[in-house]
């Protein structure tokens, strides 16, 4: 082989390597996690800092990468044509062979392989090649400037949507993905999701309705008050005058017993000021109101100015951190599983919680009721009697306890899910099967890893007590503006 042909081969190898570099660069910067990159930058990584600068100038970066990739691919094809023209005397055959060989080499070594690797190690690769890309961006500045003018022209013509902000639904999807992939655990995911959705919640979603409120008449005697506190175990009671629609204050159990033995006992002297909210009040604003007033309870007004119910600080906090039980609470589960496909649900259960449990589709904006009892009454158009039932999608719902005013308990049987309205075509099934195989491989890898890790732990007989300590402060949940250390039962 002539020295000229050897030179051509070396040139093709170098150009293929450059093509791989540009392909890997493009994939790395397209698939990197900006949050992870910021964390690396905050930890002092210079490469991550430079990569962030490139991400902030993404249009200039991608233009540079595409220009470079096209230059090396065209040059590679040209040199390959010269090489095969030297080897094969027929120009037509040489051109055909050159096209096939360069296409295969470029696809395997210049595109598929580097892009597959870059996708798996995007942040690491982006940090390591940032300096080289910065130099290339500087070299190709005249070209990127011309293409930026063309880009501005296209934008002015097509006028794309400029709203690039992340929506709440997208953020929740990211949290779900992180929970599924193991980046955060289930409890952390639920806490983050609750915090994101907290601003959408109103008092109507969590308040205790009027029929369940234990209140006291302002004219009540000391013994009556004592019996109410002892019987119900509440630390605060709303005080009304004439009827419950006219709540005039809140009486705390401590204030009552502190003044119990005084000869002249007047409830009005010991009760605190009432805080009023409406059913549509935002929970975040109610929380700030209770904090500012140093109160734990607010009275909820209906549209006519009457008492619709009450809402407490504990109710609001439970929307963030889940149910809060103390040693005096009677634990009542809204949804109790009786068997694999049978459930018992209380009438006071939130209807959205029930739908989520059984994976039922619903539009929260169209729901005019908040409880299971209200939903069932709305479905029948009247208060059904015990043993009345109906079917809803793949659920059989039966009333098992009711009174003349509301539904107390229902029985739910989950049937097989109906076939989806739109079946996946064979192309969709192909990708679904491919994803299932990948998940199965990941599970096998995790199982093997944990097995090896367990074996290594069994062989290690010199584990000190210091390494077994768990720093509980790392997982401690803190609320800067909320003091729940003295939270009492409502």
pLDDT at position 450 is: 47
Q: What is the largest CA-CA distance in the chain?
A: 121
What Rg value do the Cα atoms of the chain yield, rounded? 34
Kindly write down the DSSP assignment for every residue of 157-171, as one continuous string.
Answer: HH------PPPHHHH
Q: Is 247 helix (H, G, I), strand (E, B) or coil?
A: strand
290 with 296: CB under 8 angstroms? yes
Distance CA 252, CA 401 (A): 34
pLDDT at position 399 is: 92
Spans of the chain below 50 pLDDT: 420-422, 445, 448-490
pLDDT at position 309 is: 92
Q: Give the chain's length.
A: 490
82 with 2: CB under 8 angstroms? no
pLDDT at position 88 is: 82
Q: Which residue is it, tokens 């009457």?
A: 306
207 with 309: CB under 8 angstroms? yes
pLDDT at position 276 is: 93
pLDDT tens profile 75-118:
999 998 888 888 887 778 888 888 898 889 989 998 899 999 99
Q: Which residue is it, tokens 């930890």?
A: 43
Distance CA 52, CA 213 (A): 56
In 3D space, the residue among 373, 325, 323 whose CA is nearest the CA of residue 348 turns out to be: 373
User: Do strands 335-337 and 395-402 pair parallel, antiparallel, or not at all (unpaired)?
Assistant: unpaired
Three state DSSP letters for 449-475: HHHHHHHHHHHCCCCCCHHHCCCHHHH
299 with 247: CB under 8 angstroms? yes
pLDDT at position 441 is: 56
Q: Which two tokens stand for residue 63?
A: 């233009």
pLDDT at position 204 is: 87
List the strands of the sheet with 297-301, edge to edge: 208-209, 307-312, 297-301, 276-278
Distance CA 371, CA 320 (A): 20
């Amino acid at each position: 082989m002539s020295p000229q042909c050897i030179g051509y081969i070396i040139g093709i190898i170098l150009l293929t390597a450059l093509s791989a570099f540009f392909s890997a660069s493009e994939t790395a910067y397209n698939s990197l996690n900006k949050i992870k990159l910021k964390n690396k930058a905050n930890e002092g990584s210079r490469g991550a800092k430079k990569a962030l600068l490139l991400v902030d100038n993404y249009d200039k970066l991608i233009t540079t990468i595409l220009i470079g990739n096209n230059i090396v691919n065209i040059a590679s094809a040209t040199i390959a044509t010269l090489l095969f023209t030297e080897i094969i005397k027929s120009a037509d055959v040489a051109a055909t062979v050159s096209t096939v060989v360069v296409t295969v080499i470029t696809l395997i070594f210049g595109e598929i392989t580097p892009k597959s690797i870059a996708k798996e190690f995007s942040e690491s690769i982006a940090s390591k090649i940032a300096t080289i890309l910065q130099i290339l961006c500087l070299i190709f500045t005249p070209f990127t400037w011309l293409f930026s003018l063309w880009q501005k022209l296209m934008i002015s013509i097509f006028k794309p949507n400029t709203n690039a902000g992340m929506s709440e639904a997208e953020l929740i999807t990211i949290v779900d993905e992180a929970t599924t992939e193991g980046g955060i655990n289930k409890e952390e995911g639920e806490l983050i999701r609750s915090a994101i959705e907290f601003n959408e919640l109103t008092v109507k979603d969590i308040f205790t309705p009027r029929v369940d409120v234990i209140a006291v008449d302002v004219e009540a005697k000391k013994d009556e008050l004592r019996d109410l506190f002892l019987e119900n175990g509440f630390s605060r009671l709303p005080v009304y005058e004439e009827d419950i629609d006219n709540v005039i204050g809140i009486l705390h159990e401590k204030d009552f017993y502190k003044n119990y033995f005084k000869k002249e006992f007047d409830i009005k002297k010991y009760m605190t000021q009432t805080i009023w909210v409406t059913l549509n009040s935002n929970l975040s604003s109610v929380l700030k109101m209770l904090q500012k007033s140093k109160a734990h309870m607010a009275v909820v007004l209906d549209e006519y100015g009457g008492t619709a119910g009450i809402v407490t600080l504990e109710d609001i906090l439970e929307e963030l951190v889940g149910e809060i039980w103390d040693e005096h609470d009677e634990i009542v589960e809204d949804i109790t599983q009786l068997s694999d496909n049978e459930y018992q649900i209380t009438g006071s259960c939130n209807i959205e919680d029930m739908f989520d449990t059984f994976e039922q589709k619903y539009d929260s904006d169209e729901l005019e009721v908040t409880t299971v009892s209200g939903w069932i009454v709305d479905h029948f158009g009247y208060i059904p009697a015990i043993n009345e039932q109906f079917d809803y999608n793949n659920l059989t719902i039966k009333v098992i306890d009711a009174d003349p005013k509301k539904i107390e308990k229902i029985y739910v049987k989950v049937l097989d899910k109906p076939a989806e309205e739109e079946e996946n075509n064979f192309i969709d099934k192909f990708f679904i099967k491919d994803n299932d195989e990948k998940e199965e491989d990941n599970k096998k890898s995790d199982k093997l890893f944990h097995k090896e890790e367990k074996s290594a732990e069994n062989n290690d007989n010199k584990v000190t007590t210091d390494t077994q300590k768990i720093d509980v402060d790392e997982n401690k949940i803190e609320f800067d503006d909320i003091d729940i250390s003295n939270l009492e039962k409502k």
